[in-house]
Amino acid sequence: MNEVQRSKIILKVLNKIYPKTPIPLKHRNKFTLLVSVLLSAQTTDLNVNNVTKNIYPKYNKPEHFVKLGRKKIENLIKSIGIFRVKAKSVYLLSKQLIEKHNGKVPDNFDDLEKLPGVGHKTASVVMSQGFGYSAFPVDTHIHRLAQRWGLTNGKNVVQTEEDLKRLFPKKSWNKLHLQIIYYGREYCKA
């Protein structure tokens, strides 16, 4: 069986197991989605949701985080990994959103990836889940599963993203990204 045949079977199975794919990170708007995705690096979505459930009712705009300042942001998120680096990024990206984007999250990869702490994967999640743009965010978990399933021999997430985009129909990318994450959590522990 070649990779194209495997990809069709995988898509069929995942659509059957996960017909609905809610976004696992709780958020109130595109800005809080961006912050949550940034905070999710090297920790679980559950940890991020536990931290942000007490933050977002009060603080959910760039202006709020700039007013808080880095130290207060650190105190709010200190229970998640690398909180100092993340607090600095949240503060600086909030400042940049106000100064360069009128407080709005940009709806394109170039501007998103210029924000502090925002890489391609984070930008892809925001473009996909926040704006509905067809994107295929690939993190280490999706990379690992794509290799396990014989869909890529990519040495990094960039190569894996290219392979998956080639194998799956564009209209399936946004949902499939979440389906693979759900499947990996449920059935394929690292």
Start-to-end Cα distance in the chain: 25
Torsion angle of the four alpha carbons 14, 152, 132, 46, in this order, in degrees rounded to the nearest 10: 70
Query: Considering 16, 104, 139, 155, which one is annotated as catalytic?
Result: 139
Residue with tokens 């942000």: 52
**Can 139 be counted among the known catalytic residues?**
yes
Query: Considering 8, 20, 111, 121, which one is annotated as catalytic?
Result: 121
Q: How far apart are CA 148 and CA 45, in angstroms?
A: 23
Environment class of 4 (CB within 10 Å of its CB; exposed 0-12, middle 13-18, buried 19+): exposed
Say if residues 152 and 6 touch (Cβ distance below 8 Å).
Answer: no
Q: How far apart are CA 64 and CA 154, in angstroms?
A: 41
**CA nearest 146: which of 132, 131, 134, 136?**
136
Q: How far apart are CA 164 and CA 144, in angstroms?
A: 12
- Mind telling me the catalytic residues? 121, 139
